[in-house]
Chains A and B, each alone.
Chain A
Amino acid sequence: MHAFVTVGSTRFDALVKHALSDVVIDVLRTKGYSDIVVQCGNSDFDRSVYTLEGDTWTRNLEGEGSIEVWKFKPTLQQEYERADLVISHAGSGTILDVLRLKKPIIVVPNPTLLDNHQEELASALADTGHVKAASPWPIIAQFLDSIPTGWVGLDSGTGNGKYLPLPHDRPGSIWTIGLDRSRNLLSIARTAGGNNITREVVWGDVLGWQWRHGAFDYAISIATIHHLSTPERRKLAVQDDLSKRAVPQNERSESHGQDVFVPWVLSSQPQPQPKQKGKTKQGRTPTESVQQIAQDTQNVQDEPSKIFHRYYHMFARGELRELVCEAAKDLHLHIGPPDVGVTQGIDIVQDGWERSNYYVELRRWEFR
């Protein structure tokens, strides 16, 4: 099959770089996309492994397939038509053209362009279920925006590290440390956000606890717990969060009054609707985020024996919240706001559904 990557009329170095990376190429090939065409505009990429013929850089892939990269063509309509998958910047023209052809499209908003509303458009289309956007999930971005300067947190299952550079308007004011099971993704996460800034990443298991007691002020865990196969394992993951994470120190509690708030967000993606799923021959929903595809590889690479047992738990409404409450009860944590006669507990700040994901935000509190 044929995948087409397009960045529009300007440049989008990050998209081209990742699209041409071994990780993404490998995933695409695993999914049956052996011919990959990239419209790169004025983006930079490593040309050393390509042969230039006319206006086109080409490279043959081991086994079957090839990569073709070129800058511009007067019209891309033909490319959309012959593509089985389009990976695109969030240009409105491209999105509409591709959706009209009913082709699967992965939309990657270009955060370096100002005032072009790529994020907004992608968000709006994601909310209406037309696309799945690979941009930071607004609820998480908001959450990280609200974290006070000087806090250090954990992104458990960080993937390609897209949340590590946030918040954008206060760079370096907080540090989020990325943990993941995939070494390949971590090598991308290390430079997430660009600008020559190195992120802190750790190779490890989301079910393990490789940190000293009370290491973190906040934590996020996105689209990871639905990969765990049994209710017990999912509960265990949440309990790890509740019991060991972020038991705060005295100094911190003084600065926040008597009790301590340690918010974090857990989220989970439900299984795509079976009805939509059957429509595409490839058995995938029409749109998938790059990260999700990357997570698929992660499973393929890290757990070769489990390729056919990849687990994807479908959460029902309210189930994530229930899971959190059950996990808390087992740990004898009070559920609700700080209360007289209770020493510690969790308070659910909000839970809901956004961008086809369930989320729960909670605060862990403790009286000292």
Chain B
Amino acid sequence: MVRLITHNLLACHAKGCTTNNFPLQLKDVTIELREAEFNPDFVSGFLSRLEWTALVNAAKELGDTSLPPELPDMVDDDLLKNLHHVLLEIHIDEGSMICPNCGHSYPISNGIPNMLLAEHEIG
């Protein structure tokens, strides 16, 4: 399954592609919402590791506008719940992820992103 928790960590690794290779742009995605158990301690612990802007934009692309453009200083329960939903309950089943730098396309099928490169694309 690829959810935004993973999307927030993935970057392009094609040969020579080392800058502006994150975040990958979502393209032609089909999504499914599935409830997951809310663990506020996990979400608040993970918060500092997030690339916030990348997450907010990716969520928007998937139709979720619940996150503020900047991470507020005070994080309340509502924000943690929204974050939980954005990170762990929106499943991308099909589609692809495009590198903003080199345009390499990483397909997603049956919820599994394919990050393999062909031999000549490995840097």
Contact = CB atoms under 8 A, between A and B. Distances in A.
Q: Do A and B come from one complex?
A: yes
B42 A150 contact: yes
A144 B2 CA distance: 22
Interface in A192-239: 197-205, 208-213, 215-217
Given A150-B41, A197-B36, A217-B49, A208 B110 contact: no
Contacts of B114: 203-204
A340 to B, nearest CB: 28
Contact of A177 (B6, B23, B44, B45): B6
Contacts of A213: 11
B112 A211 contact: no
A94 to B, nearest CB: 35
A155 to B, nearest CB: 13
Interface in B1-21: 1-3, 5-6, 9-13
B91 A198 contact: yes
A210 B7 CA distance: 11
Interface in A177-200: 177, 181, 183, 186-187, 190, 197-200
B13 A200 contact: no
B111 A211 contact: no
B49 A249 contact: yes
Contacts of A217: 49
A255 B49 CA distance: 12
Interface in B35-85: 36-37, 39, 41-49, 51
B31 interface: no
Given A210-B115, A212-B11, A174 B6 contact: no
B113 interface: yes
B36 A190 contact: no
B34 interface: yes
Given A200-B3, A203-B116, A212 B42 contact: no
Contacts of B49: 152, 217, 249, 251-252
A152 B110 CA distance: 23
Interface residues of B, number: 36
A174 B41 CA distance: 9
A183 B112 contact: yes
Given A200-B2, A210-B115, A212-B51, A148 B45 contact: yes
A186 B45 contact: no
B48 A212 contact: no
B13 A212 contact: no
B116 A198 contact: no
A175 interface: yes
B13 A174 contact: no
A217 B1 CA distance: 21
Contact of A201 (B22, B37, B43, B112): B112
A213 B18 CA distance: 10
Given A201-B112, A252-B49, A216 B44 contact: no
A211 B42 contact: no
A186 B6 CA distance: 15
Nearest to A186: B112
A204 B51 contact: no
B116 A204 contact: yes
Contacts of A210: 10-13, 115
B116 A205 contact: yes
Given A149-B41, A173-B41, A202 B46 contact: no
A151 B9 CA distance: 13
A206 to B, nearest CB: 11
B117 interface: yes
B115 A198 contact: no
Interface in A251-287: 251-252, 255
A172 interface: yes
Contact of A203 (B45, B46, B115): B115
5 contacts: A172-B36, A172-B39, A197-B36, A204-B116, A252-B48
Interface of A: 148-152, 171-175, 177, 181, 183, 186-187, 190, 197-205, 208-213, 215-217, 249, 251-252, 255
Given A200-B1, A211-B9, A212-B23, 19 more contacts: A148-B45, A149-B39, A149-B41, A150-B44, A150-B47, A152-B49, A172-B39, A173-B39, A177-B5, A181-B116, A183-B112, A197-B37, A198-B111, A199-B1, A200-B6, A212-B9, A215-B11, A251-B49, A252-B48
Interface of B: 1-3, 5-6, 9-13, 22-23, 34, 36-37, 39, 41-49, 51, 91, 110-117, 122
